[in-house]
Chains A and B, each alone.
Chain A
């Protein structure tokens, strides 16, 4: 299993991303120590807080997309090098290859979540007591929910990619994303844009503060639901690929 995970690690070129995230983490920590935040709106520190909250937020949103972006690379790498055929001829458990894809995705989500919490902690540790600090606090309370969402997405994508192959699955995924994009465009044309125009990030912070319990319950339930869904997705993929022989074409 360890070997399969390492193969996937190389297939998605994760080494480069790990080094980049590690280097950026150190850089961000140094920046935050050198440029600490401030409470007062007219202070220099407040400006630093206003500029730097973007970095952990960007990492959090990138973290939702990375596992999904790697799904194709995970399967396509095997197809291209025909490693599936070799692996299926090895004395491994019949579901080991499928399990390795799911475990790799789980490990990726965990690693990204860990980086996100470290970045949010670095930011908060040196931030002033201002609205940007509150924003990152709210974002931190949503981290588990976002990670659970990326597990759910992976749980939907993996059965497709493993069963019908990366080319067909990518076509389906692209079609779905285009459809979603179309819906967004349709909303922008015909929907209530005022609701978007009136959206205030700081109103959202206030909402999050008053709905603390609901957010916490969601943060407790989402990992349980997404993990159960992820496991069912794994079982389904195993069943769908039960009698499948290696593709020797």
Chain B
């Protein structure tokens, strides 16, 4: 009887999850395809990134829209906080504020280390004057991570849009269905697949890498698994999607000072491949994510 009840619960979870995924993918992908069929270019690689920016912004809000529509269909309700809610509440008690500080600072740490690793692997890329190609004022380079953090916190609506759907709706169900490890890996892959139209359009990696677009598809899944682990951990530990939304938004600004002193034009060999370069960039994040996953899986609470 209990097994039957558990089986029914799993079926219901899976059904709700599939409804959510169908709606979210349909909303976001159809917008990309509709623009692609029109005269408006959404090619990130050809320099006309205007409409592409619109697609990215709209796309980031689609998981939230998908979640809201799914909750209407499945009658799960739209509670702001508590069990089975949208996780919009904020609780700073029991030292949970620490996770908010981590959310703000962690992307800065792993991106700074990632850029440092790139320079260590290819010291010839270090260029004292490279900042002038990005911004004529070197002082802007030094405050860039702070700018990224502040704009990440204030302009976190895009991150919030994604996190309401992925971490607030999909991941709790994935963890219940598959457990922590398989859940975050499968969840990361789904999240990565959702990014594929943008990857195809040249977002993140451009189009000139070997193995385009399939290597880009795989790399996007890798990035989403790594960051997905960190974002899910923060969400589960705080019971709120806000730290994940903030971290996601800060992550998207790529806060790092060292990037202004690494000239990618001087890269040689395999480091000219944007996919491999991106993999190196995310190695520190991967190490942190694996450590977090080990600690998290050992934690019986």
Identify the A interface with B (CB < 8 A): 2, 29, 33, 36, 110, 113-114, 117-118, 121-122, 124-127, 143-144, 147, 212-213, 216-217, 219-220, 223-224
Contact = CB atoms under 8 A, between A and B. Distances in A.
Given A117-B157, A216-B143, A144 B53 contact: no
Contacts of A124: 50, 53
B80 A216 contact: no
A125 B52 CA distance: 7
Contact of A2 (B89, B150, B157): B89
Interface residues of B, number: 25
Contact of A125 (B53, B146, B160): B53
B139 A213 contact: yes
Given A212-B137, A216-B140, A219-B147, A121 B54 contact: yes
B78 to A, nearest CB: 12
B51 interface: yes
A147 B52 CA distance: 27
Nearest to B136: A212
Contact of A113 (B53, B140, B155): B155
Nearest to B81: A2
Given A125-B51, A143-B155, 20 more contacts: A2-B81, A2-B89, A110-B154, A113-B157, A117-B157, A121-B53, A124-B50, A124-B53, A125-B52, A125-B54, A126-B40, A126-B51, A143-B154, A147-B154, A212-B137, A213-B140, A219-B147, A219-B150, A220-B146, A223-B153
Contacts of B46: none
Dominant SS among interface residues on chain A: helix
Contacts of B151: 144, 219
A223 B89 CA distance: 22
Nearest to A36: B40
Given A2-B80, A213-B137, A213-B139, A126 B54 contact: yes
Nearest to B148: A220
A126 B50 contact: yes
Contacts of A147: 154
9 contacts: A2-B89, A29-B54, A33-B40, A122-B54, A125-B51, A144-B150, A212-B140, A213-B139, A220-B146
